[in-house]
Structure 1
Amino acid sequence: MSPSFVTLLIILFLALIVLSMSFVTIRQGNVGVITVFGKYRRILLPGLNFKIPFIEQMYAQISTQNRSVELEFQAVTVDQANVYFKAMLLYSVLDQQEETIKNVAFKFVDDRNLMQALIRTVEGSIRAFVATKRQADVLVLRRDIVEHVKEQLDQILESWGYHLQDLQLNDITFDDVIMKSMSQVVASNNLKAAAENEGQALLITKTKGAEAEGNAIKIAAEAERQAAQLRGQGIALFREEVAKGMSVAAKEMQDANMDTSVILFTMWTEAIKHFSENSKGNVIFLDGSTDNMQRTMKEMMALDKLHVDKTKAK
């Protein structure tokens, strides 16, 4: 093998090495950061990129995908109650602009320091908010806590090149003693509400019953009034028809030159017959003296004459 051929092989080998060092592949969802002698130079987008070998160095590949981290920490309320939080933090790189990527690449030494700062910042923000609230109010302020943290962290994270996508407070608990007392309060409130509902239902039932009874009494009274009115009208009609019949009979008897007293005597006997047939008693006491019978006859004749006079007047 001649020296010239060996030299050619060495040159080709070095050329291949230089060529392989001149291209770099950036994965999808990542952005490459190039430095020259330790100083930032430019960024590389996903795909196959060219760089100057031995001069430009790949400093890091920054992921622009969403990242999540779970948090567990404790806070103290204004009334000295311990609150335990379990949360999930979702964040990502703000965008792929050059200034943003520079902040992400060079603000922190490594991802561990970034994560430590992010977690402590979130915990501190929540602790500061909870410290101004009472233990009884914390559970209903879940949304307010999240909004407070986002408001506090947005500017800080943007200065680091990141954006807070979401913060979920998955679990909020207290010491066992407080949890037990809260359960007792809830149970007593439920019993109180049940008693109040039962009382309201009983009151409504009694009120409706009283209204129904009152309406029934009104209906019965109205029915009785109408019945009494109809009975009175029936009696009046009966008396009117009896009077008419007596007038006709008396006139016919006068025309026939007969004594009209016979009519009264007949009515008297018919009345006694009716008493005996329809009375529930066993004995009927009648004054059968001549004077009493004559007095009764005179009263009945007077009533008959009064009716006849009213008929003639009409």
Structure 2
Amino acid sequence: MQYTIYIIAVVGFIILLSSFVTVKQGTIAVVTVFGKYRRQLRPGLNFKIPLIEQIYSRISIQNRSVELSFQAVTQDQANVYFKAMLLYSVVNQDEETIKNVAFKFVDATNLMQALIRTIEGSIRAYVATQKQANVLAQRNEIVLHVKEQIDQVLDGWGYHLQDLQLNDITFDEEIMRSMSRVVASNNLKAAAENEGQALLITKTKAAEADGNAIKIAATAEREAAQLRGQGIALFRAEVAHGMSKAAQEMEQANLDISVILFTMWTESIKHFAENGDGNVIFLDGSSEGMNRTMKEMMAMQLNKQTEPTAKKG
């Protein structure tokens, strides 16, 4: 009798303990009664009817990831090898969603197989419409195509595709070598074009600099010539003025102005001899020539003196 009571007490204690269920954070437990869906248990300590209610499955509502590795064929019959990372999760914690997740597939293995094959099929279908040269540049387009194609399917299963990352896209070795040669030739072409542009710019800048230098030199020479002309004109005017004044003073003193001419003549000969550098210069040394020159200088001076008077009148 005592043993019977003891056994009953132990069995009752075990049944009592089995009435309490602990559900981890990020997980929802699905409860069935005789194989039929009954209710859900949320994270924490929960109570269930012992021997009647059973934990059918525990559904994780956290994000899950899986790595994919598969092959596709392009429109021009090139083999493309993909390595991808898939990130998915349960759509939400609604009761209907959890029921879909729990009962759509026999187990998680079957779900994973269906999920992977669906994504691989979607990518293969897209790649089959593209040429090999375009695949590498269309990572984003492939991902968008996959999401558009399978989001509705996954939603019926109670899942949502969070992200699909195509980490690696490769081709057959021969195609990779040919692509490398194409890239190398394009780089050489771009380098040659850049060098040509740089040379053109250098030559253009050099030509502009030469042109500017010529313009500056021409402007400086023109200004120098103007200044030299002004200096020569001023020198001549001063000489004429000095000679005219000297001639007038000598006439007033009843002296022969040929003395001035002779003095200028000798000074000129001296200057030519000192600074001529071997050049031959012909001078009119006759008295008539010197007299004519003196008269012309005096006439020039007289005209300059009468011009202001005429302007005033």
Shorter-chain TM band: over 0.9
What SS does the aligned partner of 2:106 have? coil
Over aligned residue pairs, what C-alpha RMSD do you find?
Answer: 1.8
Matching residue's letter, 1:97 = D
**2:92 counterpart SS class:** coil
How far did 1:312 drift? 4.0
Question: What letter corresponds to residue 17 of structure 1 in structure 2?
Answer: I
2:68 paired residue among 66, 71, 76? 71
Q: Is the aligned partner of 1:183 residue 2:180?
A: yes
Of 293, 300, 303 in structure 2, the residue corresponding to residue 300 of structure 1 is 293
Task: Count the aligned residue pairs.
Answer: 307
Q: Distance in 2 between matches of 1:167 and 1:248?
A: 108
Aligned residue runs from structure 1 range 1-314, under 5 A: 3=1, 5-281=2-278, 293-314=286-307
Percent same amino acid among aligned pairs?
Answer: 71
In the alignment, the residues of structure 1 paired with residue 34 and residue 282 of structure 2 have an alpha-carbon distance, to the nearest angstrom, of 146
Inter-CA distance 283–203: structure 2 relative to 1 (3 Å threshold): closer
Q: Secondary structure at the match of 1:126?
A: helix
TM-score (norm. length: structure 2): 0.93
Deviation at 1:286, TM superposition (A): 6.3
Amino acid at match of 1:309: L
Does the CA-based 8 Å contact 1:108-1:114 persist in structure 2?
A: yes
What's the CA shift for 1:294? Answer: 2.9
Q: Which runs of 5+ in 2 are unaligned?
A: 308-313
Aligned equivalents of 1:285, 1:311: Cα separation in 2: 30
Question: Retained in 2: the 8 A contact 1:83–1:174?
Answer: yes
Moved beyond 6 Å, runs of 4+: 282-287
Per-residue CA distance 1:50-91 (angstroms, 9 max, x = gap): 111222121111122222111111111111111100001111
The letter for the 2-side match of 1:92 is: S
- Are residues 195 and 283 of structure 1, via their aligned partners in 2, closer, same or farther at CA, if it must alter by over 3 Å? closer
The normalised TM-score by structure 1 is: 0.92
Secondary structure at 2:214's aligned position in 1?
A: helix
Summarize the Cα distance change of 1:282–1:80 in structure 2 as closer, same or farther, 3 Å threshold: closer
**Which 10-residue stretch deviates more, 42-51 or 122-131?**
42-51
Determine the C-alpha separation between the residues in 1 that align with 2:92 and 2:299: 119
Query: Relative to structure 1, is the Cα distance of residues 23 and 311 closer, same or farther in structure 2, using a 3 angstrom cutoff?
Result: closer
